Amino acid sequence: MEPCHKEYAVSAPKKQAMTKETMDRQVLGVDLSGIRNSNEVRVVELLPLALENFPGYEPDSMDLEDIYALTLNRLPPRYRQRGTIQLSGKLPDEDILWELGNAIRKVRENPTRP
């Protein structure tokens, strides 16, 4: 039995001008900076709403970074890129707000600074 091989036409990736923003996201001249986790924007948008549930808590900049990172680490990634289909739907706001609340509680109850 002969091995089954299919040949696919592959076009060369487009090379983009290298800028400071894309230098660290280039592989073999291909700019990968356009691939993003769509939950990043949604967490930023919903964070102020989640903080309303914690009256009196005034997080500093490091707390906000911790909350942001903890939340993203608890959510399934939803990476997307231009020009392709998105195979998975977006998470409900309630799921993101739930994880934001968990992260806020964790950061508030475990300060990393005096």
Mean pLDDT of 33-51: 92
Residue among 35, 39, 36 at smallest CA distance from 90: 39
Q: What is the pLDDT at residue 79?
A: 81
pLDDT of residue 86: 60
Predicted confidence (pLDDT) per residue in 14-36, tens digit? 544 555 554 577 899 888 888 88
3-state class of 92 per DSSP?
A: coil
109 phi-psi bin (left φ>0, alpha ψ -120 to 50, beta other):
alpha
Q: What is the 3-state secondary structure (H, E, C) of 6-51?
A: CCCCCCCCCCCCCCCCCHHHEECCEECCCCEEHHHHHHHHHHHHHH
Give the tens place of pLDDT for each residue, 55-96.
999 999 999 999 999 999 999 988 877 766 665 678 899 999
Write down the pLDDT at residue 56.
96
